[in-house]
């Protein structure tokens, strides 16, 4: 189902009101069903038996594998930049590129560019952290076509990216139909400029909201994300879902949730 503008706006207002922080909130469940993020025919799990993953979410200020999350977001953009135009992970509707160019302790998952809703399948090793954008921006030194502005400085790029992130109106993360995390604590900026971003021949800066998860226990998970941005006449809405299969790695040590 392609969400209607009304459905998208309802979700944005629900998140903006703060109900994203209320695990099991009925309004969140209803909005998720309307958007197709939750199976409307699926019977809700009994609360005492529901799997909770709250302890696996890492706020943006927490380092991961000896690096700041700002550094990991830079590496995410550089990962996306390794793919040719038209084949980048955030341009794909399926999960066929999920396992490509993945190395290191953090496994990268893609969002979308806001032009379509995606449902992707992905197999992930159980010893990997997961990093996925909720909604984010990359600003390069070249202004948009038709802009009277000249080449941007690094300060300009950071300011423009931050201004976009300042106008996020809503964000929702669901795992197995249950809200996870606090949007305000997911914001991460690159903290400077870097090379290697997709479509950027020169340096660029990033800002936005990111989900970082500790390595999940082996099993099946539904990860759904919806987020919206509005700044004057500019707006963007993205909805995507991952059907994750977290696979046990021989000899790996599980990371416990706190």
Per residue in 199-212, pLDDT (tens digit) is: 888 899 999 999 99
What are the start-end ranges of the E strands in 109-203?
A: 118-125, 129-140, 168-175, 178-179, 187-189
Q: Is 5 strand, coil or helix?
A: helix
Which residue from 227, 207, 209 is spatially nearest to 164, judged by alpha carbons?
207
Rounded Cα–Cα distance for residues 121 and 95 (Å): 5
pLDDT band at 246; cut points 50, 70, 90? very high
- Taking residues 39-63, report their average pLDDT: 74
- Can you count the helices (H) and strands (E) in the chain? 4, 9
Determine phi and psi for 172, rounding to 5 degrees.
-140, 130
pTM, entire model: 0.78
Q: How far apart are CA 253 and CA 148, in angstroms?
A: 55
Query: Whose structure tokens read 């993020």?
Result: 37
Asked whether residue 132 carries a pLDDT value surpassing 50, the answer given is yes
Work out the number of other CB atoms within 10 angstroms of the CB of residue 154: 15
Which of these, 104, 109, 117, lies nearest to 1 by C-alpha position? 117
What digits encode the pLDDT tens for the residues 160-189?
999 999 999 999 999 999 999 999 999 999
Rounded Cα distance, 125 and 115, in Å: 29
Average pLDDT, the chain: 82
The residue extents of the domains of the chain are 55-247
Secondary structure of residue 125 in the 3-state scheme: strand
Nearest residue to 79 (alpha-carbon basis) of 102, 105, 111: 102
pLDDT at 114 over 80: yes
SS3 6: helix
Q: Which of 4-13, 25-34, 39-48, 125-134 has the weakest average pLDDT?
A: 4-13
Residue 130: pLDDT band (50, 70, 90) is: very high
The continuous run of DSSP H or E covering 29 comes out as helix 26-34
Provide the percentage of residues in the chain whose pLDDT is more than 70. 75
């Amino acid at each position: 189902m392609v969400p209607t503008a009304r459905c998208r706006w309802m979700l944005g207002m629900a998140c903006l009101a703060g109900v994203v922080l209320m695990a099991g909130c009925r309004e969140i469940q209803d909005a998720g069903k309307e958007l197709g993020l939750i199976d409307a025919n699926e019977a809700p799990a009994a609360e005492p038996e529901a799997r909770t993953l709250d302890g696996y979410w890492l706020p943006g200020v927490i380092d991961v594998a000896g690096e700041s999350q700002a550094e990991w977001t830079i590496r995410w953009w550089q990962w996306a930049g390794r793919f040719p135009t038209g084949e980048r992970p955030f341009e794909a509707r399926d999960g066929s590129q999920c396992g490509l160019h993945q190395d290191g302790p953090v496994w990268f998952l893609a969002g979308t560019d806001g032009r379509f809703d995606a449902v992707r399948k992905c197999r992930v090793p159980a010893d990997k952290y997961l990093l996925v954008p909720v909604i984010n921006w990359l600003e390069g030194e070249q202004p948009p076509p038709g802009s009277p502005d000249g080449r941007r400085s690094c300060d300009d790029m950071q300011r423009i990216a931050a201004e976009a992130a300042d106008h996020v109106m809503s964000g929702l993360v669901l795992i197995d139909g249950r809200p996870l995390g606090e949007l305000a604590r997911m914001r991460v900026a690159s903290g400077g400029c870097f090379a290697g971003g997709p479509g950027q021949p020169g340096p660029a800066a990033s800002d936005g909201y990111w989900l970082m998860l500790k390595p999940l226990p082996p099993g099946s998970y539904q990860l759904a994300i919806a987020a919206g941005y509005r700044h004057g006449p500019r707006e963007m809405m993205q909805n995507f879902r991952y059907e994750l299969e977290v696979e046990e790695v021989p000899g790996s040590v599980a990371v416990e949730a706190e």
